[in-house]
Amino acid sequence: MLKIAVAGTGYVGLVAGVCFAEVGHQVICVDIDENKVNLMKSGVSPIYEADLEQLMQKNYAAGRIDYTTDYESAYKDADAIFIGVGTPEQPDGSANLSYIATVARQIAETIEKDCLVVVKSTVPVGTNDKVEQFIHDFLVHDVRVEVASNPEFLAQGSAVRDTLHADRIVIGTESKWAEELLRDIYKPFMLPIVSVNRRSAEMIKYASNDFLALKISYMNDIANLCELVGADIQDVAKGMSFDDRIGSKFLNAGIGYGGSCFPKDTKALEYIAREHGYELRTVKAAIDVNHDQKTLLYKKASKRLITFSGLKVAVLGLTFKPGTDDLREAASLENIPLLLDHGAEIYAYDPVGAGHFARRFPEGPNSHGSIQYVSHPEEALADANVCFIFTEWGEVKAIAPEAYKNLMRTPLVYDGRNIYAVEDMRAAGVEYHSVGRES
Ligand code: UGA
C-alpha cells in the first residue's frame, strides 16, 4: 500500500484517485475549489459518471480516500503524486500548460521525502522533461524527485470500468526506480503494462486518440460518399469489421466526434507537428471532415424545408455522447444556434445534459427562435414539424418508430446517430434522414 496524492479532481484525477483507493492505496485528492472538496467529502461526485459516486462513498468510509485544498499536507510525504489537471486548448490549438506548472511548483516547494511525480494529463511530447527540470529548479528539500508519464485512456461514461479494466497501462519513465515504483502502484490492477520512455508515452496518448478520431472521420467521409452512390454505411462497416486488422469498434458514422479529447488532441498534435516544421496531413484531414460533419443535419434539413421560422423543432439529445452530462464540442452546440437564428421554436430533451445546456442558452442566444427544455421525449415530439437526434441516449433509442408518426405534426426525422433501421422508419410512415444511408 502506497501513499498517493492526486492533483486535480476532474475526470482524470478523480477517477484515478478513486480507483487507486479501490485497489488498496491510501489516497488524498487535492483541488483548489473548496466547495467541490466539501461536496466530495460528503460523498457526492462533481461529475456524472457510472459507479463513481458509489466507489467514492465506499472508499471514504473505509478511510482510503480523502479530499483537501491543503496541497502542502497532501504532497509532503506522498510516495507518488499524480497530476491530473486540465490542459485546455488555446486559440492557436496548442495546449495550455499553466495548471501543470502551478502544481509542479507547489510540489517542488512542499515535498519532504523522495517522490515520483506522475503526469496523467495529456501533454505535448517533451513536456515532462520540462516539468522535471522545473521541479528541480524550485526544489526546497534535498530529496529525490523524478517525473513519469502515465497517460489516461478512459472514456467518459465508462471511466471507472475503463480504469479498473483497462486494455493496457502505459508508463513512460527514465529510470529503473521510477519504473518499479509505478509497477508497484499498478500491481493490484493486474493489467498489461507497456513500459517505454517518457516521450514515447506522451506520444502514445496523442497517437491513440488521433487514430480513433481519424477512424471516425474516415467512416464519416465514406458515409457521405455512400449516400451519393447508393451504398449503406452500416452494411459497409459490418463488412469491414470482420477483418481483424480493421476491428469492429469506432466504425459508427454520424455527426462527428465531440467531447473534450478528440477535438483538442487532434488540434494539439497538428500544432506540435507544425512547430517542428512538419505537416500532419492525415490528422488535418480528420479535423476538416469532423468540422463539416457537425452541421450535417442542419444542412440536410435546410435543403428540405423552406424555413425553420415558426416551426416546432424537437431535439433529442444534447450531450456529445450518452452516459455523460458533458456538452463540450457536442454537435447540438453547433446546430441549435443555427436553428435558433433561423427562427426555430425548439423543444429539447436530454436525460442529464439539459440543465447545463439551459445555463448556456437561457432564452436562446439573441436569436429569432426560442428554446424550451422538456423532461420527456414525447413532449418534444408532440405536434413537432421536424425532429433532430443528436445523441443516442437509451431513452431516445427506446422511442418506437410509430411514436414519431403518431406524435409529430409532420413525421420528419433527422438522425445523426443512425439509431433506427431505415426500413422500420419507412414502414412506420416516417420520413427518415440519417447518415450514410438511403433516405
Ligand atoms: C476518448 C477516448 O475514447 C478515450 O480512450 C480517451 O482516454 C479519452 O478520449 C481522453 O483522451 O480522455 P471520450 O472523448 O470520453 O474518450 O469519448 P468516446 O467514446 O471516445 O467518443 C468521442 C466522440 O466520438 C463522441 O462524440 C462519439 O459520439 C464519437 N464517436 C465514437 C463516433 O462518432 N463514432 C464512433 O464509432 C465512436
The full 3-state SS of the chain, as one line of letters, equals CCEEEEECCCHHHHHHHHHHHHCCCEEEEECCCHHHHHHHHCCCCCCCCCCHHHHHHHHHHCCCEEEECCHHHHHCCCCEEEECCCCCECCCCCECCHHHHHHHHHHHHHCCCCEEEEECCCCCCCHHHHHHHHHHHHCCCCCCEEEEECCCCCCCCCHHHHHHCCCCEEEECCCHHHHHHHHHHHHHHCCCEEEECHHHHHHHHHHHHHHHHHHHHHHHHHHHHHHHHCCCHHHHHHHHHCCCCCCCCCCCCCCCCCCCCHHHHHHHHHHHHHHCCCCCHHHHHHHHHHHHHCCHHHHHHHHHCCCCCCCEEEEECCCCCCCCCCCCCCHHHHHHHHHHHCCCEEEEECCCCHHHHHHHCCCCCCCCCEEEEECCHHHHHCCCCEEEECCCCHHHHCCCHHHHHHHCCCCEEEECCCCCCHHHHHHCCCEEECCCCCC
Atom number in ligand 1 closest to CA 256: 33
Instruction: Give the tens place of pLDDT for each residue, 320-343.
Output: 999 998 999 999 999 999 999 999
**C-beta atoms surrounding 305 within 10 Å:** 17
From the CB of 264, is ligand 1 less than 6 Å away?
Answer: no
Q: Which atom of ligand 1 is nearest to the CA of 252?
A: 36
Of 19, 47, 51, 31, nearest in space to 319 by CA: 47
- Ligand 1 atom nearest to 205, measured from its CA: 11
CA distance 330 to 320: 4
Q: Can you tell me the distance from the alpha carbon of 47 to that of 68, in angstroms, rounded to the nearest whole number?
A: 17
Quick check: CB of 179 below 6 Å from ligand 1? no
pLDDT band for position 92 (50/70/90)? confident
Mean pLDDT of 247-256: 98
- How much distance in Å is there from the Cα of 262 to the middle of ligand 1? 7
Mean pLDDT of 224-247: 98
User: Ligand 1: does its nearest atom lie under 6 Å from the Cβ of 155?
Assistant: yes
Mean pLDDT of 115-140: 96
Ligand 1 mean position, distance from CA 190 (Å): 25
* Tens-digit pLDDT profile for residues 255-311: 999 998 999 999 999 999 999 999 999 999 999 999 999 999 999 999 999 999 999
- Which residues are documented as binding site for NAD(+)? 31, 36, 87, 122, 264, 328
Is 294 close to ligand 1, i.e. is its CB under 6 Å away? no
Task: Assign domain 294-433 to its CATH architecture.
Answer: 3-Layer(aba) Sandwich (3.40)
pLDDT of 75: 98
Overall average pLDDT of the 83-109 stretch:
92
The vertex-29 CA angle with 28 and 30, nearest 5°, equals 120
| Interval 176-205: pLDDT, tens | 999 999 999 999 999 999 999 999 999 999
Q: For atom 28 of ligand 1, which residue has the closest CA?
A: 321
| 29 tagged catalytic | no
| Chain CA centroid to CA 356, Å | 16
For the chain, what is the mean pLDDT?
A: 96
Q: Where are the domains of the chain?
A: 3-196, 205-292, 294-433
Q: Per the annotation, where are the binding residues for substrate?
A: 205, 250-254, 258, 321
Q: Is the CB of 257 under 6 A from ligand 1?
A: yes
pLDDT beyond 80 at 133:
yes
Q: What's the pTM value of the predicted model, to 2 decimals?
A: 0.94
pLDDT, average across residues 237-251: 98
Q: What is the mean pLDDT of residues 7-14?
A: 95
- For 35, residues 6+ apart whose C-beta sits below 8 A from its C-beta are none
Average pLDDT of the segment spanning 47-54: 92
- Is residue 316 pLDDT above 60, yes or no? yes
Domain 205-292, CATH among 1.20.1250.20, 3.40.640.10, 3.40.109.10, 1.10.1040.10: 1.10.1040.10
Q: Which residue of 261, 318, 418 sits with most ligand 1 atoms within 8 Å of its CB, as the best mutation to test the pocket? A: 261
CA dihedral for 118, 121, 127, 131, sign (positive or negative): negative
Kindly state the cell numbers that stand for 384: 413537432
Q: How far is the CA of 93 from the centre of ligand 1 (A)?
A: 19
Q: What's at 240, amino acid-wise?
A: M
Q: Which three cell numbers stand for residue 251?
A: 466504425
Residue whose CA is at the smallest distance from ligand 1 atom 5: 153
Residue 87 CB neighbour total at 10 angstroms? 23
For the stretch 305-315, pLDDT in tens is 999 999 999 99
Pairing of strands 345-349, 386-389: unpaired
Query: Which ligand 1 atom lies nearest to the CA of residue 331?
Result: 26
- For the segment 143-172, what is each residue's pLDDT rounded down to a tens digit? 999 999 999 999 988 999 999 999 999 999
pLDDT tens sequence across 361-384: 765 555 688 999 999 999 999 999
Distance 385 CA to ligand 1 centre (A): 32
Whether ligand 1 lies within 6 angstroms of the CB of 49 is answered as: no
CA atoms within 13 A on the CB side of 121: 31
* Residue 386 Cα to ligand 1 middle (Å): 28
Which atom of ligand 1 lies closest to the CA of 220?
33
* pLDDT higher than threshold 70 for residue 39: yes
What are the residues whose beta carbons fall under 8 Å from the beta carbon of 238, sequence distance 6 or more? none
Distance from the alpha carbon of residue 257 to the mean position of ligand 1, in angstroms = 7
Angle at 385 between CA 383 and CA 389, to 5 degrees: 100
Where residue 30 falls (left for φ over 0; alpha for ψ -120 to 50; beta otherwise) is beta
| Domains 205-292 and 294-433 alike in fold | no
Q: Ligand 1, atom 2: nearest CA belongs to which residue?
A: 155
Residue 362: the pLDDT is 64
Q: What percent of the chain has pLDDT over 90?
A: 92
Top-tier CATH class for 3-196: alpha beta
Q: Is the CB of 253 under 6 A from ligand 1?
A: no
| 47 CB near ligand 1 (under 6 Å) | no
| pLDDT value at residue 363 | 59
Does the CB atom of residue 166 touch ligand 1 within 6 A? no
ipTM: 0.98
> Measured from the CB, is residue 156 less than 6 Å from ligand 1?
yes
What confidence score (pLDDT) does residue 368 get? 82
Ligand 1 pocket, residue 419 CB under 6 Å: no
Nearest CA to ligand 1 atom 17: 155
The residue whose C-alpha atom lies closest to atom 29 belonging to ligand 1 is: 257
Atom of ligand 1 minimally distant from the CA of 213: 24
| Candidate list 115, 226, 261, 387, residue with the active-site label | 261
Estimate to the nearest angstrom the gap between the alpha carbon of 355 and the chain centroid: 18
Q: Which residues contact 433 (CB under 8 A, 6 or more apart)?
A: 297, 300, 301, 304, 413, 414, 415, 439
Joined grid coordinates for residue 359:
445555463
